[in-house]
Amino acid sequence: VSPQLVAFIAFLCFVVSRADGAYTTLVAMEAAFSALFFLLYLLRLDKQMHWLFWPLADFFNSVIAALFLLVVCLFAVIIKTNNGTVAGGVLGLILFVLSIIDAVLVFQKISFNGPRRNTPAK
């Protein structure tokens, strides 16, 4: 299951149900950030931009997104404004689980003591 797809469907649920702006904004931002990281790795831009340790940035993005998603989507499910808000909240909780899985997988690939690649002097 693609996190971008789940985030987009949750976004649509919140928009259609005319939910509070916090629900819609959070899910839209998570969809945008995960899409940007997907494109970053797909186009191999992380290999060209050495000034940031991209896996660690991806890990922090997943952890922070998971925390926000947990809080906001639990509120959406608990308050039960309408069916669309509940559906978006449930999808947001699924996105929370996917963010946790992503954080664990990325953290397992991070090597803090591994060899560093030296770039040749120009």
pLDDT of residue 10: 80
Q: Mark whether 2 and 39 lie in a shared domain.
A: yes
Q: Are residues 54 and 34 in the same domain?
A: no
Instruction: State pLDDT tens for residues 39-75.
Output: 887 888 777 777 777 777 778 888 888 888 888 888 8
- Please check whether residues 34 and 58 belong to one and the same domain: no
Within a domain: 118: no
Contact 61, 37 (CB under 8 A): yes
Shared domain for 18 and 53, answered yes or no, is no
Domain count, the chain: 2
Range of the domain at 28: 1-44
Distance CA 8, CA 30 (A): 9
- Beta-carbon contacts of 111 under 8 Å, excluding residues fewer than 6 positions away, are none
pLDDT digits (tens, 9 = 90+) for 12-26: 887 888 877 777 787
Tell me: the pLDDT tens digits for 61-115?
Answer: 888 888 888 888 888 788 877 887 888 888 888 888 988 988 888 888 876 665 5
Give the separation between CA 82 and CA 121, rounded to whole angstroms.
60
Q: Is the pLDDT of residue 116 over 60?
A: no
**54 and 5, same structural domain?**
no
Residue 120 falls inside a structural domain: no
117 pLDDT more than 70: no
Q: Is this prediction's pTM over 0.85?
A: no
The answer to whether residue 119 sits within a structural domain is no
Is residue 79 domain-resident? yes
Same domain membership, residue 36 and residue 13 = yes
Q: Are residues 37 and 79 in the same domain?
A: no
Rounded to the nearest angstrom, the gap between the alpha carbon of residue 41 and the centroid of all alpha carbons in its chain is 14
In a domain, 104, yes or no: yes
Please tell me whether residues 52 and 98 are part of one structural domain.
yes
Between residues 44 and 116, the one the model is more confident about: 44
